[in-house]
Structure 1
Amino acid sequence: MAADLAGRADRVKTPFAFKARRAVIGLPYVWLLVFFLLPFVIVLRISFAEMEGARTAGFHLGSYATLLSDEIYLSTYAQSLMYAGITTLICLAIGYPFAYFMARASATAQPLLLMGVMLPFWTSFLLRVYAWKGLLDAETGWVGRLLGHVHADQLLLPLGLISAPGQFMYTPFSLILGMVYTYLPFMVLPLYGTLAKLDLRLLEAAQDLGATPWQAFWRITVPMSKAGILAGSMLVFIPCVGEYVIPELLGGPETLMIGRVLWDEFFSNNDWPMASSIAVTMVLLVIVPLAVFNDSQAKAAAR
């Protein structure tokens, strides 16, 4: 009798659990469909239209033809990818040691360090970026005066990061500095989450086998933290490619990025098909390589 009741209970629970699991899995897909795929399809449709007065109509490939033939757009895409890549590498170089230190800190210090990383999010993103305009001023900003005092311009000028001695604002240097400052926490947090779960016994075993601390770091710690490196790099690189606020406030004429071009086409030139084609191309530049990489990783893991 008890066995029959238990069997009936299992049969009742199984459909309910299956439906609940489908609902939990399906909700994120519904969210992506409504708030990502559907708007993207609308933008994609506009990109193939042409302006007729204040409206878009018809089917036209002129926007993509212009995009692929105009050197301004091509150089802007190249600059956006370059600045995003440089920012990602600098964030990784700074964020990895800091995340490693956080993961090895005592249990009482880790929450304080984690709060220190997240503390900038308590302030408006726009205010934090705008504050760098004052900080980098060569006459009134303490960061600008400090850089001038240590003659940092002698190093930055040959690299092409500043346009003139003592001119730290509205340059590639100020742009990269602003993006590194803004997106560094997005690199640190995934790395910390990965490094905090690292099994320290593997490092002890490597040292017992004669590996130096440096060899153990490169052969065990870095490969084991690969997931955090990839996640942090994507979280930094993707928003940097389409960044608009930081180039607008801290960048100069030579730091034109695709986000500013997109804004100009939408709101200054009122050319919605051209702006939509720029947006679609920017999304594809990020999503297609990411999808190919994820597919290759899944096939490698299945072998």
Structure 2
Amino acid sequence: MAGVASSNRQRSKLAPYLMILPALAYLGVFYVIPFVSLFRTSLSTMGGSIYLPELTFGWEFSNYGDALSQYREQILRSFGYALTATVLCLLLAFPLAYVIAFKAGRYKNLLLGLVILPFFVTFLIRTLAWKTILADDGWVVHTLGTVGLLPSEGRLLSTGWAVIGGLTYNWIIFMILPLYVSLEKIDARLLEASRDLYGTNRRMFGKVIVPLAMPGILAGSMLVFIPAVGDFINADYLGSTQTRMIGNVIQKQFLVVKDYPVAAALSFVLMALILVGVLIYTRALGTEDLV
């Protein structure tokens, strides 16, 4: 009996490790191996021709210096666009999530469905739709020109604001849903208690709602900012050569120029900068309530 009990205890100890083996295998094949391969590429030198490129590994850390010096402007622009889009997403999504969580009543599911519905359309088609909407002969430009918000020869398409608008629209769903989940968890009795204590709506918002919604703000900000930094579709279709982001540079280096070491180095630089930014942001706001 003792041997059976000991065998059962050993099996119970091994069970958690056996359960995570498929996930570890998946990460190893589809993340770790490509990650190592990309890192090795970033430290290689390029040879051969554009049709038959040859990579020679040689610890070429100068690729990182070249990438930073040549494309600093695109890197800074990408972070600026992504940060602006994240702030706009937060400003637009918070009121909508609040209304759905507290004011929608029986129409809550309907409103959530209407919010999610446009995102069943592919990313590319939605971006092309905005290209049509913001066209020089479109109604948006005409209306803004009529009310004096746009010069007579002004335009929206192929500008930085068009790219930021595309980023905001395409990623706002990832701000709305985390915010809604956080706000929906707030006990309405806390809001009633703040009113009973003669708290104004502004104080209630700043002292009760925002702190309790902070997990959603943090999660939504990261879900918007991280993909927005590396986005290249919006800059490609809604911008111009003056609004290129680092994603456009990486795509061109990989697929057109075929300078794989520089493209790989830029990818690692981007990942490192995003990681540092996320760590600083999460440390400033805290992550205890995210689980």
Task: Assess same fold via TM > 0.5.
Answer: yes
**Conserved 8 A contact 1:137-1:145:** no
Alignment of 1:35-46 (within 5 A): 35-46=30-41
Flag the 1:293–1:131 CA change in 2: closer, same or farther, 3 A.
closer
> Corresponding residue for 1:33?
28
Residues 131-166 of structure 1, C-alpha deviations (whole Å, 9 max, x = no match):
112111232x22232222223225xxxxxxxxx833
Pick the aligned partner of 1:232 from 214, 220, 237.
220
1:107 shift after superposition: 4.1
User: How far apart, in 1, do the equivalents of 2:287 and 2:166 lie?
Assistant: 38
1:28 shift after superposition: 4.2
Alignment of 1:163-182 (within 5 A): 165-182=153-170
User: How far apart, in 2, do the equivalents of 1:148 and 1:11 lie?
Assistant: 80
> Corresponding residue for 1:274?
262
- Give SS of 1:56's match: strand
**Conserved 8 A contact 2:68-2:266:** no
**Conserved 8 A contact 2:81-2:164:** yes
Residues 168-225 of structure 1, C-alpha deviations (whole Å, 9 max, x = no match):
1111121111111111111101000110011122122222222111101101100111
Whether 1:48 and 2:43 are equivalent positions in the alignment is: yes
User: How far apart, in 1, do the equivalents of 2:7 and 2:224 lie?
Assistant: 46
> Corresponding residue for 2:150?
153
> Corresponding residue for 2:57?
58
> Corresponding residue for 2:250?
262
- Give SS of 2:172's match: helix
User: How far apart, in 1, do the equivalents of 2:209 and 2:22 lie?
Assistant: 36
Question: Residue type matched to 1:31 in 2?
Answer: Y
Of 56-65 and 179-188, more deviation after overlay is shown by: 56-65
Pick the aligned partner of 1:250 from 234, 238, 247.
238
> Corresponding residue for 1:161?
none
User: How far apart, in 2, do the equivalents of 1:228 and 1:24 lie?
Assistant: 30
User: How far apart, in 2, do the equivalents of 1:196 and 1:28 lie?
Assistant: 32
Flag the 1:27–1:227 CA change in 2: closer, same or farther, 3 A.
farther
Percent of aligned positions that are identical = 35
> Corresponding residue for 1:197?
185
Question: Residue type matched to 2:79 in 1?
Answer: L
User: How far apart, in 1, do the equivalents of 2:14 and 2:147 lie?
Assistant: 65
User: How far apart, in 2, do the equivalents of 1:225 and 1:138 lie?
Assistant: 40
TM-score, normalising length from structure 2?
A: 0.87
Residues 93-145 of structure 1, C-alpha deviations (whole Å, 9 max, x = no match):
00011101110134421111111111112211111101112111232x22232
Whether 1:131 and 2:129 are equivalent positions in the alignment is: yes
- Give SS of 1:108's match: helix
> Corresponding residue for 1:87?
85
Q: Which consecutive residues of structure 2, in runs of 5 or more, have no partner in the other structure?
A: none
Flag the 1:13–1:93 CA change in 2: closer, same or farther, 3 A.
farther
Residues 256-294 of structure 1, C-alpha deviations (whole Å, 9 max, x = no match):
100111111112211100000001111111123324555
CA root-mean-square deviation: 2.7
Flag the 1:127–1:274 CA change in 2: closer, same or farther, 3 A.
same
Q: Which consecutive residues of structure 1, in runs of 5 or more, have no partner in the other structure?
A: 1-8, 155-163
